[in-house]
A and B are shown apart, each in its own frame.
Chain A
């Protein structure tokens, strides 16, 4: 049952058709039987009338007379054109009188009753009666085909409207069914048209009884989904937030421990401990950042920004890390106005830059280029690192996904959240991000921002989360 509408239309039309056609057939049959009786009645009346003739008065040679054409009193239409052939015989079978159409030989055997026979290249219904008083046979006959045609012509007029109405009914049924199914389509449209992040209840005017349960279930589902989303978001944020304080305390204590320790071996262990705590602190910060930049979470303050200037600012902050790794860095381009949120964009550039630096071997090359292009502003981060094989390029945006697990060629441990944050920010700005191979040999990250003032940046992004 692929389509409810087609199923309902077809089955209801078929039912109507069956009922009306079968009753039409039944009506037709009964009317035909009635008509037959009427014609038989006619034959009988005429036979009786003929038998009133005094055959003795007619003796002396066979007479040939006109066939009877008598209007039918009961139903004038049936009587039209109906000719009745007749014969009168003596009881011994001698022909006394016949009409023009009747043959010389008896039209039927001398047995009282109706009978169907062929003569004169037609099939006839013949009535034979024996008038015992006058002692002669009277045979009257009507052509069966004419009887039938006359009757059918009239009865058909009653049947044809039935046939014509059925297709009309089918069209109406189609319209009614379509109309009846409209709330279902409205509900489907309502559910389909909403944003993925929009989990507010579906509102329908005048929900039909059959759909009340369904729309209630959908709303219930949406409510629960919304609740669990909220809980999930809050949990990550709360957990990270709660972890911040103990980590800061740990950091202070490790610092103190380093001051107090004398033995070099113990100091080395403590230094490793400090690095571990730093990594943990970084992870917690990144989780918080990720949640802050979640598109359905972020309260945006969009304003026109010079992306190149922003990049310069971020580079000067992060330059220490690049210097430490002995990498060569270039910042190219200039200008490029983007309508966006300064904090988020700073975080985006920071993540791109530190990611590139982290995964590029020491002494490698990095290049950041920010420049306007045909469609807006283009920001390209390139490095001479190992790059990302094509099959992993989709997955690296997933949270906590790291290429080759933790065993990175560069030996650096990341949080696995950097690119997820980048993706959030990109989506938030209706920008696009593509990963490719750089001419420096490593990864090329290309972020395209739409032209500022394009008018699209209003409300929530469409493909958020």
Chain B
């Protein structure tokens, strides 16, 4: 049961953090949450098909299909988040408006669908494919319910916490979270590419597992929040920093546009 809790909680937490950030920020930008049901539906459909076709997918690219498809999904979600950071920053620098944005809608939809597909596929494989076949339904279902419940509860507090902030503070916090999340996604994509030998494996630069073990609860939380890695390699670290820089650049670009707009308007 405990392992079910941990597996499900980890996946749910990652998804929930991203979803809450998307929900809070898109609400703060004056968008209704119309993308939410569509995103959920697409995500569930994606998760189901990914899980069901996992075997043929794995066989693609000489047995590296899983890694490559995962990496593509992770990187596109990360890219969507970089653009999203730019949108958030632009909106935060402008006076409040209730004009819904089609770009915000599309990006939320994409990021939500990709995230739910990936996290959902693993939960589905574990709970259904494994739980049913191994005849451990009771313990796995209990664990899954507990894990999902805890994840959603954290999400509830997180969402209302974000909504309690002022519009500006909410948007900038969301931009920060999106930056960290996108870096975390890039980190995961890096593991996948290393695992598939498309990026070189390297000796780690340092080891902080004595401080926070990745398998501990804190470690899991940190990993869900910003892709904590106890033993990063040079490649992982540089790609991680590159994605953080990309998000910062997206924000700087928004600021640049904002100042230009002000100059032309005065």
- Whether chain B is bound by chain A comes out as yes
A: which residues have CB within 8 A of B?
1, 7, 10-11, 13-15, 17-18, 21-22, 24-25, 28-29, 32, 152-153, 156, 159-160, 163, 166
Q: How far is the CA of A166 from the CA of B157 in the complex (A)?
A: 17
| Chain B 140-159 interface 0/1 with A at a Cβ cutoff of 8 Å (1 = within) | 00100110011011101100
Given contacts A25-B5, A152-B1, A159-B1, contact A14 B156 (CB under 8 A): yes
A1: which of B5, B138, B160 is its contact (CB, 8 Å)? Answer: B160
Does residue B70 face the partner (Cβ distance < 8 Å to A)? no
B:119-146 near A, CB below 8 Å: 138-139, 142, 145-146
> What are the residues of chain B within 8 A of A1 when measuring CB–CB?
160, 163-164
Does residue B249 face the partner (Cβ distance < 8 Å to A)? no
B146: which of A13, A29, A163 is its contact (CB, 8 Å)? Answer: A163
Q: How far is the CA of A10 from the CA of B153 in the complex (A)?
A: 8
Q: How far is the CA of A52 from the CA of B142 in the complex (A)?
A: 44
A3 vs chain B, min Cβ distance (A) = 12
Q: Report the nearest B residue to A155, measured CB to CB.
A: B1
Q: Report the nearest B residue to A157, measured CB to CB.
A: B138
> What are the residues of chain B within 8 A of A7 when measuring CB–CB?
160
Q: Report the nearest B residue to A164, measured CB to CB.
A: B145
Q: Report the nearest B residue to A24, measured CB to CB.
A: B146
B126 vs chain A, min Cβ distance (A) = 16
> What are the residues of chain A within 8 A of B146 when measuring CB–CB?
21, 24-25, 159, 163
Cβ of A17 and Cβ of B153 under 8 Å apart?
A: yes
B145: which of A10, A13, A18, A163 is its contact (CB, 8 Å)? Answer: A163
A34 vs chain B, min Cβ distance (A) = 14
Q: How far is the CA of A401 from the CA of B157 in the complex (A)?
A: 56
B153: which of A15, A24, A29 is its contact (CB, 8 Å)? Answer: A15
> What are the residues of chain B within 8 A of A156 when measuring CB–CB?
1, 138-139, 142
Given contacts A18-B150, A21-B150, A28-B2, contact A160 B142 (CB under 8 A): yes
Cβ of A18 and Cβ of B163 under 8 Å apart?
A: no
> What are the residues of chain A within 8 A of B160 when measuring CB–CB?
1, 7, 10-11
| Chain B 94-121 interface 0/1 with A at a Cβ cutoff of 8 Å (1 = within) | 0000000000000000000000000000
B1: which of A10, A18, A28 is its contact (CB, 8 Å)? Answer: A28
Extra A-B contacts (9), CB below 8 Å, given A28-B2, A153-B139, A166-B149: A1-B160, A1-B164, A10-B156, A13-B153, A14-B157, A21-B146, A25-B2, A32-B2, A156-B1
> What are the residues of chain A within 8 A of B163 when measuring CB–CB?
1
Q: How far is the CA of A14 from the CA of B152 in the complex (A)?
A: 8
- Describe A's contact surface by its main secondary structure: helix
Cβ of B145 and Cβ of A11 under 8 Å apart?
A: no
Q: Give me 22 A-to-B residue pairs in the complex whose CB atoms sit less than 8 angstroms apart, sorted by A's number.
A: A1-B160, A1-B163, A10-B156, A10-B160, A11-B156, A11-B157, A14-B153, A14-B156, A18-B153, A21-B149, A21-B153, A25-B146, A29-B2, A32-B2, A152-B1, A152-B139, A153-B139, A159-B1, A159-B146, A160-B138, A160-B142, A163-B145
B: which residues have CB within 8 A of A?
1-2, 5, 138-139, 142, 145-146, 149-150, 152-154, 156-157, 160, 163-164
Given contacts A28-B1, A28-B2, A29-B2, contact A22 B150 (CB under 8 A): yes
Q: How far is the CA of A152 from the CA of B157 in the complex (A)?
A: 31
Q: Report the nearest A residue to B159, measured CB to CB.
A: A10
> What are the residues of chain A within 8 A of B149 when measuring CB–CB?
17, 21, 163, 166
Q: How far is the CA of A153 from the CA of B145 in the complex (A)?
A: 17
A300 vs chain B, min Cβ distance (A) = 46
Q: How far is the CA of A21 from the CA of B149 in the complex (A)?
A: 8
A437 vs chain B, min Cβ distance (A) = 39
Q: Report the nearest A residue to B138, measured CB to CB.
A: A156
Q: How far is the CA of A230 from the CA of B150 in the complex (A)?
A: 60
B134 vs chain A, min Cβ distance (A) = 10
Q: How far is the CA of A28 from the CA of B157 in the complex (A)?
A: 25
> What are the residues of chain B within 8 A of A153 when measuring CB–CB?
138-139
Residue among A10, A13, A14 with max Cβ neighbours from chain B (10 Å): A14
B160 vs chain A, min Cβ distance (A) = 6
B208 vs chain A, min Cβ distance (A) = 26
B216 vs chain A, min Cβ distance (A) = 14
A171 vs chain B, min Cβ distance (A) = 15
A-B complex: 10 closest residue pairs judged by Cβ atoms: A14-B153, A14-B156, A18-B153, A21-B146, A17-B153, A17-B149, A10-B156, A163-B145, A21-B150, A152-B139
> What are the residues of chain B within 8 A of A163 when measuring CB–CB?
142, 145-146, 149
> What are the residues of chain A within 8 A of B2 when measuring CB–CB?
25, 28-29, 32
> What are the residues of chain B within 8 A of A22 when measuring CB–CB?
150
> What are the residues of chain A within 8 A of B156 when measuring CB–CB?
10-11, 14
> What are the residues of chain B within 8 A of A25 when measuring CB–CB?
2, 5, 146
A177 vs chain B, min Cβ distance (A) = 14
Q: How far is the CA of A18 from the CA of B157 in the complex (A)?
A: 11
Q: How far is the CA of A79 from the CA of B29 in the complex (A)?
A: 61
A270 vs chain B, min Cβ distance (A) = 62
Q: How far is the CA of A18 from the CA of B151 in the complex (A)?
A: 9
